[in-house]
Structure 1
Amino acid sequence: MRFTSGTVKVMCLMLSVAALSACGGKSKKKNNDDSTSNKTTTSVVPSNTGSANTTPARPAAGSTTPAQSETNPPVSACSTNYEIAGTANPFLAGAPEATELDYGRAPKDVAPLNAPVAVQAVDAKCFDPGRQLYFQVSGTIAHDNQPEIFTDADGQADLAPTHSLGSVHGLSNITAPINSLVGVFLDDTAFASRPAAPEALDFGTAEARNFRTLAPKIGQVFFIGDGKDMTGMLQAFVVPAGTTRLYLAIMDQYEWSNNQGQLSGNIQWVKP
């Protein structure tokens, strides 16, 4: 049979229709990538899940370095043993006899009854500029005749007041846990000739107290606590230039005269 081009076209059309009918009337297109059944699911992993804990920089002039886990230095005592009564007010450091602090109630805090303890170094090099000192501390303190809330030298963590009279006698204000051990370095400047107080330091948070090294200025009241960071490592306190005296006392907001308890210990160093 001779096929013309028109006949061929008609036959092709008829075959296509027959094929469609045999398959239910629809042409199936193969899905080569099978995107529905074989899709790969990916999980986004946050990049900051292992962020490191950091210690905030010390405010004002108290320079610090973050606490680290390592071996304590080989320290030994460089002072005589001290005993600090709960009534020791840091703002009477180096004050002449009969100097008063009036908190609007009787009795007033007065030197020497409420004066802080002047630590006696057994070696003059203990107060060399830049020397790192460490503290051995024990004992308990309570404030306002409240024996039910005795604390160790770290103080009452949930109550961190500032001095109600602010900076006085050339000594800075401070924010620190009540009942905690505090200190202040002084030089030989006469009481009546002291310069304006340096800026206050803030130890109101656990992070602020978790320093490794603290470098206070002359006249800048600073937190000592139990002398250890959160890991139990000794904290270092850098002696400022000009230091001839170190006074230790207890943190309170006002009226030290009715506090109870005492702390004891000594200052330590790595002997040169």
Structure 2
Amino acid sequence: MPRTLTRRRTAASTEAYTPADEPEDSNLPDDDEDDQPRRGSRRGSRRDSLHTEEAPASRRSRRSQEDDDEDDEPAPKVGGKGWGSYEKTKSATSSFPENFKVTGEAVVVKILDEEPFLVFLQHWIERKGKRSWTCLESRCPLCDDAGDKPSQQVCFNVVDFTDPDDPQIKIWQFGPMVADILKNYSKDKKTAPINRDDLYFSVSKQTKNNKTTYYITPVKERDLADDWDIEPLSEEDLEEFDDKAYDEDVLQVNTRNELKTIAREILND
């Protein structure tokens, strides 16, 4: 029986998460969907903690000599050219979670959560600048004053294999259409739980006549190499990505006064 990792939920960033300010589909916010360490396992970390005695002085001396030798080596090659280098360094330097974007081209993802790590209501306001706002649910000015109806948003941590050689952890945010598909998979004994180690998914979408259809298909680990030219994640890889996983603390919530300002802006248009 496939093993399911018991994952420790940790925030990967102290910055607040702001949902993307560009909808993936032009017909939002109607019924179609909206459309980011240390290497090694926690088992290795625990081993280190159990053996805390100091290394012999001679070993420390050898380590010091090795460090000195490394300092004398030529500087490593850094930097690069092209948009690929731009995207790689952009991801490495950003302190904000990155959203996984579904496109017309099928991409493999590894879902890290057994169920959504975050579910919230979101207002989408067509305006210059920031357009997505988290609903306060109770006494929300965008609901009560502006009369805007929020949409349900669901978030999962996923590993994105758009670049099979450089998989990245991202937040996959979507609405009820995709949520219902994943919920059905989570209840099917052939694909439950959806974050089990040997299960991946291919994801794509097609938009026609302002209607978007999502295609989410299970991919078995054994088929990754032949069908997708992707190397499956090892147990150590999974634990490393799990250590980077986001939790509900990443959600940005504006104050009621800030939302009142947006509501007045809507009413004055």
**Which category describes the TM-score, using the shorter chain as reference length?**
under 0.3
Q: If you compute each CA radius of gyration, which structure gives the higher value, 1 or 2? A: 1
Please report the TM-score for the alignment, with normalisation by the length of structure 2: 0.20
Structure with the higher helix share, 1 or 2? 2
Please report the TM-score for the alignment, with normalisation by the length of structure 1: 0.20
